């Protein structure tokens, strides 16, 4: 699969997930939603805004070839940071949320880095 297509799919997934976090945060929170306080719901929405911005920026850049590697890399950095935070604070997160976070963030980070590095080397040639 072409790295540009991979980057587009990751970016589109990021926009979709971000929109879900903004629009239906309690559903995204799943089983912990019953206990979710107002600040927790606000945080999931803020997280969603981050993903919409990163994914949307990557999609625009991938369609114009201007800054595509940087936008894709920014998403990979965000996903890698999510992995690090989830592992570092796994006791606070709980097993179910840790697994869910890693199931989304690990493939997104790996594919993001693969695509970003490939796009960066192509833009230098």
Q: What is the pLDDT along the chain (125 residues), one digit of tens a residue?
A: 798 999 999 999 999 999 999 999 988 888 777 777 888 889 999 999 999 999 999 999 999 868 899 999 999 999 999 999 999 999 998 898 899 999 999 999 999 999 999 998 877 66
DSSP-H helix ranges across the chain: 3-23, 25-29, 38-64, 68-88, 90-93, 95-124
pLDDT tens for 55-84 read 999 999 999 868 899 999 999 999 999 999
Helix (H) or strand (E) segment spanning residue 4: helix 3-23
Q: What is the mean pLDDT of the chain?
A: 91
- List the domain range (segments joined by +) for residue 83: 3-124
Other residues' Cβ atoms within 10 Å of the Cβ of residue 28: 19
How many distinct structural domains can be found in the chain? 1
Residue 73: name the closest of 2, 10, 5, 1 by CA. 10
């Amino acid at each position: 699969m072409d790295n540009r297509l991979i980057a587009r799919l990751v970016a589109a997934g990021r926009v979709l997930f971000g929109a879900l976090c903004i629009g239906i945060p309690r559903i995204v929170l799943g089983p912990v939603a019953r206990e979710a306080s107002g600040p927790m719901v606000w945080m999931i929405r803020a997280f969603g805004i981050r993903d919409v911005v990163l994914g949307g920026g990557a999609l625009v850049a991938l369609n114009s070839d201007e800054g595509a590697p940087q936008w894709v890399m920014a998403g990979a950095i965000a996903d890698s940071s999510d992995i690090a935070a989830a592992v570092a604070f796994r006791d606070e997160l709980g097993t179910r949320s840790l697994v869910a976070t890693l199931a989304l963030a690990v493939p997104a980070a790996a594919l993001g880095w693969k695509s970003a590095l490939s796009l960066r080397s192509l833009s230098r040639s």
